[in-house]
């Protein structure tokens, strides 16, 4: 069984602590991934990077925490965002891992993401 969780809003500390807590409760290692570092302008290169991450996650029975996932969706003209989302879906079917997508700001969650998300956690701003 796997879960797709979206964290949004609140402070980075709160979102990171929640991810760490889930890792402790599941007795799983938490792999923090910066999407901006694995997304390439070439779709196939991005797919390869994601494949390697899921393989590593599966070998460690880890939770994958994609930090700053909003980078994919904040600019609706990002031509690869749909392909990346499809790749994530395919990899989740192959590797049953808990995946957390972190959105630092409250955005309108894209319909394409909403339809595959199991849980949406909205954090309150401390201000």
The two structure tokens encoding residue 31: 């792999």
Among 21-25, 52-56, 64-68, 117-121, which stretch is predicted with the lowest mean pLDDT?
A: 117-121
Annotated domain spans of the chain: 4-104+115-122
Q: In the chain, what is the straight-line distance between the N-terminal and C-terminal CA atoms, in Å?
A: 37
| DSSP characters over 85-101 | HHHHHHHHHHS---EEE
CATH number of 4-104+115-122: 3.40.50.300
Residues 6+ apart with CB under 8 A from 1: 96
Residue pair 98/5 in contact (Cβ under 8 Å)? The answer is: yes
Rounded Cα distance, 101 and 18, in Å: 12
Rounded Cα distance, 35 and 108, in Å: 19
Q: What is the pLDDT of residue 23?
A: 92
Give the predicted TM-score (pTM) of the model: 0.83
Mean pLDDT of 103-118: 68
Each residue of 66-104: pLDDT tens digit?
888 877 665 544 566 777 778 888 888 899 899 998 887
Q: In the chain, where does DSSP find H-type helix?
A: 12-26, 35-38, 43-60, 70-73, 81-94, 111-114
The helix (run of H) or strand (run of E) holding residue 123 is strand 119-123
């Amino acid at each position: 069984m796997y879960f797709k969780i979206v964290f949004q809003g609140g402070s980075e500390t709160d979102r990171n602590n929640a991810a760490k807590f889930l890792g402790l409760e599941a007795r799983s290692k938490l792999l923090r991934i910066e999407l901006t570092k694995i997304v390439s302008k070439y779709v196939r290169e991005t797919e390869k990077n994601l494949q390697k991450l899921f393989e590593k996650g599966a070998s460690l029975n880890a939770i994958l925490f994609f930090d700053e996932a909003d980078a994919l969706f904040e600019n609706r003209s990002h031509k690869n965002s749909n392909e990346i989302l499809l790749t994530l879906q395919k990899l989740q079917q192959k590797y049953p891992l808990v995946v957390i997508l972190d959105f630092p700001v409250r955005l309108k969650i894209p319909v394409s993401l909403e339809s595959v998300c199991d849980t949406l956690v909205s954090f309150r701003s401390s201000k």
